[in-house]
Amino acid sequence: MKFNGNKAYFLTPTNKYGLSKVEPKDITEDNFTYIARLTIDWDKMNKDDLTKEGGIVVKNGMHCGLMAFRDHEDMCYIRGCIWVTGPDGLPMLIDRCIEVKDTQKVFELSFTHIKSEKRIIIGDQGFFLDRIYDGDIVDYSTSWFWVSCCNALESCDEEHRNYLRADIDMIGIFGKALTPDEIQNVFKDGKVDTSLNPVGFFDFKKTTPYKIYDESKNGNNLVKFDNAWFDNVQ
């Protein structure tokens, strides 16, 4: 599905109609993994304006997830990030970045958090980098998941909405720290089973004009953001 910087999908922490079998609310309280397969239109990301950074799959607030960005030297990166409470009690960004050398490639990205090791891992096509952190991950229980931005809500300053220009054909959210083999098998097979603790899995094949269906069968369908009917989905 193509995203041109003016479209995003979301998943709320809970479903007010009780349709979610596995609520996304508490996923960041323990181990988790996000995955995404996509191409990115880096030519439409300008280091000097708001297009320089875009969310791929992110929990909003103090953003947690996968992002693409072009830095002040015009270098391209994929970033995996969380925020933690530092030793001084203040929020602190923890991130790890992969430098992009081929801007035309298809990315098969993963971002994993292992709570017991206080470790984040970012990966692309079998290549992985990690980082150990001190402190505790901040509370994301009221945050929304976003695909192709970091936060589309009008209450969010425009500079932090971070719409992405990309073509995405797979997103996965898991309540488990997937192993490298498990990650690569999901990309290879294009499906998931319950052993992976999926929260939501989206191959973008079954859609409506306003919905991308959750192929994990957990009922966590992605919904296209539209301010006109925002109040009906909270």
pLDDT at 75: 97
| Tens-digit pLDDT profile for residues 139-181 | 999 999 999 999 999 999 999 999 999 999 999 999 999 999 9
Q: Is the pLDDT of residue 14 over 90?
A: yes
Residue 140 carries which side chain, given as an amino acid letter?
Y
Q: Is residue 58 classed exposed, middle or buried when 0-12, 13-18 and 19+ CB atoms within 10 A define those classes?
A: buried
Q: Assess contact for 84 and 68: CB atoms under 8 A.
A: no
Contacts of residue 220, defined as CB under 8 A and 6 or more positions apart, other chains included, come to: 11, 15, 20, 22, 24, 173, 199, 200, 214
pTM of the model: 0.96
Overall average pLDDT of the 1-22 stretch: 93
The residue assigned the tokens 């030297």 is 73
Selection from 104, 96, 108, 102 nearest residue 188 by Cα: 108
pLDDT tens, position by position, 16-38:
888 899 999 989 999 999 999 99
Which whole-number Å values give the CA distances from 209 to 33, 100, 134, 157, in the listed order? 28, 33, 43, 27
Tokens at residue 205, please? Answer: 């094949």
Q: How many CB atoms lie within 10 A of CB 101?
A: 8
pLDDT tier at 211, thresholds 50, 70, 90 = very high
User: CA-CA distance, 112 to 178, in Å (whole number)?
Assistant: 7
- If pLDDT is split at 50, 70 and 90, which confidence band does 112 have? very high
Q: Are 211 and 222 in contact (CB under 8 A)?
A: yes
Instruction: Say whether pLDDT at 50 is over 70.
Output: yes
Distance of CA 17 to the CA centre of its chain: 24
Confidence category of residue 229, pLDDT binned at 50, 70, 90? low
Residue 44, helix vs strand vs coil:
helix
pLDDT at 18: 84
The mean per-residue pLDDT over the stretch 128-136 comes to: 96
- pLDDT for 43 beyond 90: yes
Once rounded to an integer, what is the mean pLDDT over residues 113-139?
A: 97
* Percent of the chain's residues with pLDDT above 70: 97
Calculate the alpha carbon distances from 200 to 32, 71, 94, 154 in Å: 12, 31, 25, 25
Domains of the chain: 2-232 (2.60.120.200)
> Is the CB of residue 42 less than 8 Å from the CB of residue 51?
no
State residue 213's pLDDT score.
98
Please tell me the predicted confidence (pLDDT) of residue 230: 60
**% residues pLDDT > 90 (the chain):** 91
